[in-house]
Amino acid sequence: MPQRDVEISISRTGEVKVHIKGYKGKACTKIGAFLAGIVGKVKSEQLTSEYYEPEEKAAIHLEQKQGK
């Protein structure tokens, strides 16, 4: 199971810095949007290299053998 970590810093004025880790691809934008919805509005957003990696997908490889 993949581990998802989020680091949250709430400054003395209530401004929030969120560092989302462990999400690849656009999956991180979901948790980002969720947190933005809780706190207020997005002041700035910085996407890191992991964002551009392919998303994790569960794949099942099926092989059909030709019958006689």
Partner 1 sequence: MSAILILTPLVIGASWPAISAAAAGAAVALGLVVRSTAKEEIATAEEELAVKNSVEVEVKNSEVLQNVATEQQIVLKAQDGVEVRVKRDARGRCVVCASGQGKSKAELQAFAERFTERMTQCFVYNRVMTELKAKGFQVTSEERAQDETVNIRVRRWEG
Residues 33 and 40: their CA atoms lie apart, in Å, by 10
Q: Which one of 9, 60, 65, 67 is in contact with partner 1 (CB under 8 A)?
A: 9
The CA-CA-CA angle for residues 32, 8, 23, to 5°, reads 45
55 and 30 Cβ atoms separated by less than 8 Å:
no
Phi and psi angles of residue 51, each rounded to the nearest 5 degrees, phi first: -60, -35
CB of 30 to partner 1, least distance (A): 11
Is 55 an interacting residue with respect to partner 1 (CB under 8 A)? Answer: no
Is 30 an interacting residue with respect to partner 1 (CB under 8 A)? Answer: no
Is 63 an interacting residue with respect to partner 1 (CB under 8 A)? Answer: no
Residues that bind partner 1 (CB under 8 A): 1-24, 28-29, 32, 34-36, 38-51
